[in-house]
Chain A
Amino acid sequence: MSELITLTIDGRQIQTEEGKTLLEVARDNGIEIPALCHNDGVEPYGACRLCLVEVTKNARTRLVTSCLYPAEEGLVVETATDRVMANRKMLMELLLARCSGVPVIQDMARQMGVSEPPFRPEYLENEECILCGLCVRACSEVVGTSAISLVNRGVNRQVAAPFLETADDCIGCGSCVYVCPTQCIKMEDVDGSRTIHNWNVSFKLKRCSKCGNYFAPEKQLEYIRQKLSLPEDFFDVCPNCR
């Protein structure tokens, strides 16, 4: 059992367990802080910076990312000061300039009062990926395959399969698709075959011996079967028919 600590968020005294991040504590208590690169299933990363909050400790005030900052006894946290909002607005403008046509980003920007980015229209981009790294982290931390990664530096950074070719280690599980906040990873199941276009991979789907429905890529089922040492015929029937 972790020790209980008390901190203040937006004027409210909150008791929580040591070891949680500020974002977790805030959300547990119904205080909404925006974040795009965060998902409870993977380690915090701190890339989108939208979850910035102002913390005061020992009379020193500074901005920190709430998804990474550990809750501490006596900490005073403000989630929406002028400084926080000014930064968040600029970050949103930068995001919108990168992903000017992505609905999730457009909606979020609108909520923050950003209608259009302050940059010349000819420089606006129509990228779909915000480089939050959730797909890469899910693939490595949850699935354990590390089939994709973030490549290149700076403005050339992108998510890619090895050597920008095919993701040979991909098992077709679709975790990356599921976790992506902007739905920019395109996956489709057609005629017993699954394709993930972004990583140039296709998989044969397994048909359930009872209901006859395709239910998962054979490679994924084999990966799970070996990892958990399951019998060879374990996935002959789908979870629904089992």
Chain B
Amino acid sequence: MTTELLTDLTIFALAVLVGFEVISKVPATLHTPLMSGANSIHGVVLIGAMVITAAVSSTYAYALAALAMAFAAMNVVGGYVVTDRMLHMFLRRPAPPAPPAAPAAHGDGEAAAR
């Protein structure tokens, strides 16, 4: 038990570090899809719901398990589909038909904005 917990804690700590690193400089454009994508990943709770559902044996537990299954499945399926729909819209027309005439050299945008 203690070994298991220790392993789990190690995994948790490392996964947190990976999570901090995996998101770097994201253009603001992608913030919403990225959030939605992360949202679908925590739908992995579906696996937990399945494991729990397999083990229950009383009426109220069946009800709770069914609700957990429905919630989790909704999170997974809906999450991935809506993320894909968002991203699909960005990429529907990949070939830029006619980019506006190249703007004159304009130093640092931030400086010019002041």
Question: Do these two chains interact?
Answer: no
Contact surface of B with A, Cβ cutoff 8 Å: none
